[in-house]
Amino acid sequence: MFNYKNLKKVLFLFQPETAHNIAELGLRALPKCRIITNYLTKRNFVSDPKLTQEVFNVKFINPVGLAAGFDKNCTMVKSMPALGFGYTEIGTMTPRPQDGNPKPRMFRYPKNNSVQNAMGFNNEGAHAVLKNLEKVYPFVLPIGVNIGKNKTTPEEYALSDYKTLIKKFEKTSDYIAINISSPNTPNLRDLQNEEFITALFEMAKELTNKPILLKIAPDMQAQAAINLCKTAVNAGAAGIIATNTTIDYDLLPGCKDFGGLSGEVLTQKSYELFKEIANELFDKTVLISVGGISSAQEAYKRIKAGASLVQIYTGMIFEGPSAVKNINEGILELMEKDGYSHISEAIGADLKNN
């Protein structure tokens, strides 16, 4: 009945965005059936003191979170424990409602366990999302909020959009992630410059004590990414999320020439940039790794490279909730092999040993 392989066969008969909408309907309804919710939570949610940690003074029962982009309007939060996640990141949401880019705008590549999306921050707008969030926050799991500017907002007014969003969500989130790295909003990545980042985080620091993180693209040159992350941390950022999707279409021959690639084709590229950033910023800020993580081995690799937390999205599309469970259980096994009694000993172990 709860075999994801069977469910996936049905979902994959539909266009990816349609399948996502069907999944959303199911996950919105799931909490209303307590017996099934409890069964799935017991089956998928890994709770072990060895994995529990405090980050931003917030308790994370396990380190595997849902990346932004799946739950854009905060409609599925109550189902996250049933899927096994230790935390979730909603969004990306914008100040005003936004339809996103023309359809079709999401494409599957099952042979590569990868997805390409050109969604364009489609969401119901900050006001509607906040109403949904207020119904569930505070939640049993940490909730991050991923924010971005509206497509129609000129670059010179981008700060105003982020100011609006920070003020709106700072009381109903455990952290806020600044998204200037999506490839699907025209010129958004142009904001990945030190002048804008300094102004943004200095402004954020005056608005709230809530942890504000920067999410960066995997397509930056390593030194430029390091410099940008350093600038953000010096200006008050509480952490770095690396990385978003990639526009390196050479990674997947035959893919579309628009939108961002995620999944296993991104794994190595994301890891390499994360490692470079961690070499410079580990112990100076919180690091979250995302991009092509679908196995315990890859998640543990990122943890040993300096990640306190990891996120998945595409891996769940192809593997289902078992992906989260398998990653958490696998991390515990790998920690035991390495002789670690707590995840804190594994975080940055490769850097500590150098």
Which residues are annotated as catalytic? 182
As a whole number of angstroms, the distance between CA 152 and CA 27 comes to 31
- Other beta carbons within 10 angstroms of residue 127's beta carbon come to 12
Give start and end residues of each alpha helix (H) in the chain.
Answer: 4-11, 16-29, 34-44, 80-83, 126-134, 158-169, 194-207, 222-234, 267-281, 296-305, 314-319, 322-338, 343-346, 349-352
CA distances from 108 to 139, 219, 266, 290 (A): 32, 21, 14, 19
Token pair, residue 351, equals 């850097």
As a whole number of angstroms, the distance between CA 226 and CA 221 comes to 9
